[in-house]
Each structure stands twice: as C-alpha cells, then as structure tokens.
Structure 1
Amino acid sequence: MRVLVLAALLSVTSGPGAALGLPDWLDFGLHAEELPGPPRPVVSVILADRDTEARGIPGIVEARSQVQLGFQALGRMIARPADLGDKVAQGQLLAQLSTDDLVASTRAARAALDTAEVADRTARATLERTQALAERNVASNAQLEQAQQAASAAQAAVEQARSELAQAEDAEGFARMTAPFDGVISAIYEAPGAVVGAGAPVLQLSAEDTPEVVIDLPEPALLGLETGAGFTVWHRNDPDMQIPATLDRIDPIADSATRTRRLYLTLPPDAPFRLGALVRVRFGTRDAPSLSLPAEALVTTGEGSAV
C-alpha cells in the first residue's frame, strides 16, 4: 500500500500534472537569491549654507582704558550719583561716604595735637629751669639729662600728632569719589548704605576713546596669526553692518580653565558699538573670499589636513 502512494506522488510531480501550478511553498526556484546590482554613489547635498552669523566668533566690546574705583578710607556710603551707563566728566562726583566718623576722627586728632603741644611747652620750660640750676650746681647732671630726654620725647609726640591730624584731614577729603577722566560707568559693585572698606571696588569707569573687541580662541587657531591681522565685526542684531578691526595684542598666557588665549581687536573711532555690546567676529575683511566645507570633507594625516 505504501509503495502505491509513493508512486502516485512521483507521477504527479513528474507527469502531466507538473505543468499545473504548484503551491508557492513547493516552488523553491522563485525565491532564489538575486545577484546584487552595481553600487549606488552616496551624494551629500547641502541644502543651505550657514549664514555669516553662525560662523562668527562671539565677542564683547570693552574699553581699552578702564579702572575700578574705590574709597581710600573705611566708611558708610551715603550717596552714589553715578549709575550704570552714565557718562561722566573728569572731576564729577561719583560717590560719597558719611563724614560723621571722619569728622570725629579729625577732631580727636586735633585735640591730641593740642595736648602734645602743651606737653612740649612744659618739657621745654622744665629743661630751661634745669639748665639754669645745673649752671649754679644746684641740679645734677642726671637731672639735666632727664629733662633733655623729656623735651625730646615731647617734641616727637608733637610731630606724631601733627602727622595723625594730616592723615585724618586727608581721610575726610577721601570721602568724595570723583572721576579721574571722562568716561562711562561700566559696572557697579556697591549700593548706597553699604559699609565699604578702604580700597574695595565701588564702581568701574571705562574710557570711550579707544573701544576694542575681546574674543577668546584656542591655541591651534592662533597659528600664523600676527599683530595687525584683519578681522570683521558685526552686531548680532544687524549682521549687514560689518566693521573692520585689526588685531592689537594677544594675551601671553592661556586661561587655566578653558586653555584659550584672549585677543584684543582695535575698532575704528566711529564704530557704532556701545561698551558691553555682544558682537560676532570672523577672520579676514568683508571682501575676503571664504569657502565652507563639511567636516567630513577634511582628512587629517601625519602630514596635516587635506580635502
């Protein structure tokens, strides 16, 4: 019986029934692996080039000459007429300390001087009497030497009291802070009512005569860069107004945290940038040609980089 069934199956697959359509799972030839075609090239398409601002280096406009001003005496600040962004002239009042304590110190120093002068007059009179007695052999040489030493000490006390009075009067004058030159207030550190120490910064004054742009660059970007190199600067909100700038100097020491060097670019006197403005900077002048390449197009070897 099994022989007959096997023979029937063989006759179906090899006989006239083979022309009939067989099930797909029996037709192994239809699923044979196709040969791969020729490789297709991969093309990178740049839809839009980055604008000039995206390629710019961030920077800030600062003054070439700027100083932090503070009082030369300890005291409580009672007034600060100058505020952030104010333009001030040389000699203009910027801040003032309370003079109550300073006036009291001056009065105490003047009283100490008066006391020292009285003691000096007394010591000199005693010395004169002792000298007269010594000439008549009434006073001993030891008494004369003691009177001379007392007179010298009294004279030294007078000189010290005069010096302390002069210092107190100077400190009273230090209660007024005035502008040493024309400029603009670029930073504020203390508000009225605060007790400030001698030499502590209260505000920062920046001159407007020579503005410059400050940028930070890594060490590799400085290769071949020399003083006088041309740059282009523009405001972030107005990229069409591009101003030329020149490299003035480079900090000799790199920042310990970022390992970058600070560059100072000199702007023309009529540059339309205010102090503290955020700007963008790029190498070269505005008319210098530039070419943008994707990073994948650069190949770096031991001999350098190439396209």
Structure 2
Amino acid sequence: MKTRPCPSRTAPAFLLVALVFATPALAFHWPWQSASRPEVAMPPHPVVSIITGDQPPEARSVPGVVAARYEVDLGFQTLGRLVDRPVDIGDVVSAGQSLAALNPEDLQGNVDAARAALDAAEVQLRTARATADRTRELARRNVASVAVLEQAETALTAAEAAYEQAGSELVRARDARSFATINAPFAGVISDVYEDTGAIVAPGAPVLKISADSELEAMIDLPGASSATAKVGDAYEVWVDGMTAETLTAEIRVIEPVADPVTRTRRIRLTLAHSDDLRIGTLIRARPAVTRAPVLTVPEQAIVMRDAVPHVWVVSRPEAAEAFVSLRAIRTGESTVADPLITEPFPAEPVTNQPVIVTSGLEAGEEIVTRGIHSLAEGQPVGRSVAP
C-alpha cells in the first residue's frame, strides 16, 4: 500500500508573504512598524516680552507717611491705678492740659504716713537734745562719766539723722502726689493710647503719646543702594499717594545711622516746606527732585549675564520678514524696589522681578524677552508677543 504525501499547511503562508513583498502596490505595515509621516513646518513659538518705556513717577518713588517731628510718650513717675483719662486718640490738646490722673487716695495716704513719721522723729529729736544737754551738765560737774556723755551725743546725732530722713520722705510723698496727674508738655494731638482707665500703671510705663502738629515731616524708608547715595540736604518731591499733580518740596533732615534689621532699609526724615494741608499718618510718596530725563527699566528676570556683562534679548520685527531675537549688552544702574516697607529681605525664593534701571544699550519702545531667556539662540525666529 502506497502512502500519498500530505500537502504542507505552511505553503499558503509562504505564498502570501512572497506575494506581499513581490507586489509593491499591496505593501502594508505591520503593527510594530512605524509609518513615516511627512514633517509639517510649525510656526515660531510666541514669546513673553514687554515694550520698554519711561518709568512713571509712582514707580520711581517710595512710599512713606507724614509724622510729627516732635512726639513724646508720657507716663507717670509713680505707681498707681489710672482713674481718669479724659483724652483719646485724635484729640487736639493745649499746653498744660490734664491728660490722665492716678487714684489720689493711695498717694494721699503715703503723704499722711510720711507726715506722721516726721512728727515722731521730731519728738525723738527733742528728747535726744534734752538728754544730751543734761548729760553735758552732769559731766561738767563730774557726776556723769565720759561714756554716758558719748552715748547721749550719739543718740542725739541719730535722732537728727532720723528727723532729716523723715523730712525727705515727706517731700518725696508730696512729689509723688503731684506726679499723679499728666499734663501736656506742649500743644499737639494725641497720636496713641497705651493704657485704659482702671489699669495699674508702673512708674515710667507709657500711658499715651502726644505729637506736636506744628512741625510735620515726611518719613520714608530707602533700600541700601539708594540710602548709600543719599545725603542730608538733598531735595525731594513729596505728594499725597494718588495725587501726583500736587507735589511739595522737601529736603533730607536726618538719615538714621542704623538700618532696620528686618527690612534692611534706612529711615529717612524729610523736612516739608509746607505742611498745612497734611495730617499725621497721611500716606505719601517721595522721590529725589532730579532732572526728569527718561528712565528705562527692565525686569531683573530678563537679564542674561555673559562674561559678567548684563545682556537682554531684543526682539526685531521687520515688516516683510519673520521676527527674530538678538542678544544685546546693556549697562544697568541700581535695582528699584516698588515698596521697600514690605519687601522681605530674605525671601524663600530669589526675587527676580525687581525693576533694574538701564543707563545705556536700550531705547524706549524696544521689545525685550522676559521669560525663557536661557533657551533662546542668536537670530532665532520668534512669534507674537503674549502676556505672562
């Protein structure tokens, strides 16, 4: 019996593979093969940029407040309970007016006790004098010994000293009774109150503050770079915050020698030429009274340092061509802080948005890149400008 060969099951598969590779029109891609796609040209990426221009007066100024040149914290010179305070914050007072008073009963009791002690010391003094006189007479007759005479003289000296001490205590008690009232040392306004009626006040503890409203001055805080160049007598322009049209002339009167340990700013006091329309506590802004030349500033985050020289990416937008960027060297001045009173000296992250004054290298109206400055290349095409 002859066996017939069994047809192979793989023959159709080989024929199919051969057909696929032999016929280009029937070629296809397997799932694991990547199909080549035509590359589509993408438009240039937009950039975050700004147009440089003159810094407004508000940005070139620093905030401050109107304060009194003379202000005093008033307190009692003795311990007592506050029973009367007829004035409050904002009250206008005249020189010599009563501002606060302690309980007079306790202080009067001290005066009575001191007077009684003085009377007792006076009696002891008279007794000691009479004893000393008799002892001297007996000693002259050789009836009393020298030792007894010395004791009598010593007792007399002690009685005289006790009498002087009791007199001093009475004077002190009377002075303390006179210290029970606080009178205004000069005319002014009550600018602060620290204690209310009924409180036990220690000697020297402040009870209220009086400020003279006759001489007002502006008080500002300058950062280190600005305060280092400031000098006593420099002219300033001062205006009420939000009212730049009405400026007042002022000059530096005092530059405090020690900087604030928290803000690293230095307190500057400005003497105002006219302060009739101002009140204590008014918010003001001040800037040096210099020539009004254009001041260009750029954000600190837009500056690229190359070989220790500051550069910025300038965007050029020709009319009939694509926009591109180019690196340009600039010269900078000091950094300006918009509000140094609330600027943290040691922030958790580096501060990179402070405006930096540009002295040369840029002109008003030029466009510079403020974000992504480290990923650009010379001549790189860029798209439209977008807001950050």
- TM bucket, shorter chain: 0.7 to 0.9
Matched, 1:146 2:156: no
Residues 220-277 of structure 1: per-residue CA shift (max 9 Å, x gap) = 2224222222222222253432222222221111222222211112212335221122
Q: 1:159 aligns with which of 150, 158, 164?
A: 164
Provide the secondary structure at the position in 1 that maps to 2:246.
strand
Paired position in structure 1 for 2:297: 293
Paired position in structure 2 for 1:136: 141
Contact 1:106–1:168 (8 Å) recurs in 2: yes
Contact 1:187–1:205 (8 Å) recurs in 2: yes
Provide the secondary structure at the position in 2 that maps to 1:94.
strand
Aligned counterparts, 1:24-173, within 5 A: 31-33=37-39, 44-46=49-51, 52-53=57-58, 55-173=60-178
Paired position in structure 2 for 1:284: 288
Q: Distance in 2 between matches of 1:191 and 1:275?
A: 23
Q: Distance in 2 between matches of 1:134 and 1:225?
A: 84
Contact 1:210–1:269 (8 Å) recurs in 2: no
Classify 1:81/1:227 alpha carbon distance in 2 versus 1 (closer, same or farther; 3 Å). Answer: same
Count of residue pairs the alignment pairs up: 291
Residues 143-167 of structure 1: per-residue CA shift (max 9 Å, x gap) = 1111011111111111000000000
Identity across matched positions, percent: 46
Unaligned runs of 5+ in 1: 14-27
Q: Which amino acid aligns with 1:179?
A: A
Q: Distance in 2 between matches of 1:4 and 1:297?
A: 64
Q: Distance in 2 between matches of 1:71 and 1:204?
A: 13
Contact 2:248–2:274 (8 Å) recurs in 1: no
Contact 2:77–2:176 (8 Å) recurs in 1: yes
Matched, 1:183 2:188: yes
Aligned counterparts, 1:152-231, within 5 A: 152-231=157-236
Q: Which amino acid aligns with 1:33?
A: E
Q: Which amino acid aligns with 2:104?
A: T
Shift of residue 83, structure 1, vs aligned partner: 1.3
Provide the secondary structure at the position in 1 that maps to 2:49.
coil
Q: Distance in 1 between matches of 2:22 and 2:256?
A: 94
Q: 2:266 aligns with which of 261, 266, 270?
A: 261
Shift of residue 41, structure 1, vs aligned partner: 9.4
Q: Which amino acid aligns with 1:123?
A: A
Shift of residue 53, structure 1, vs aligned partner: 3.8
Q: Which amino acid aligns with 2:121?
A: A
**TM-score under structure 2 length normalisation:** 0.66
Classify 1:43/1:96 alpha carbon distance in 2 versus 1 (closer, same or farther; 3 Å). Answer: closer
Classify 1:210/1:6 alpha carbon distance in 2 versus 1 (closer, same or farther; 3 Å). Answer: same
Shift of residue 187, structure 1, vs aligned partner: 0.8
Shift of residue 4, structure 1, vs aligned partner: 11
Q: Distance in 2 between matches of 1:230 and 1:43?
A: 39
**TM-score under structure 1 length normalisation:** 0.82
Q: Distance in 1 between matches of 2:56 and 2:232?
A: 28
Provide the secondary structure at the position in 2 that maps to 1:44.
strand
Q: Distance in 2 between matches of 1:169 and 1:3?
A: 129
More helix by share: 1
Q: Which amino acid aligns with 1:189?
A: Y
Residues 162-199 of structure 1: per-residue CA shift (max 9 Å, x gap) = 00000000001001110111211111101111110111
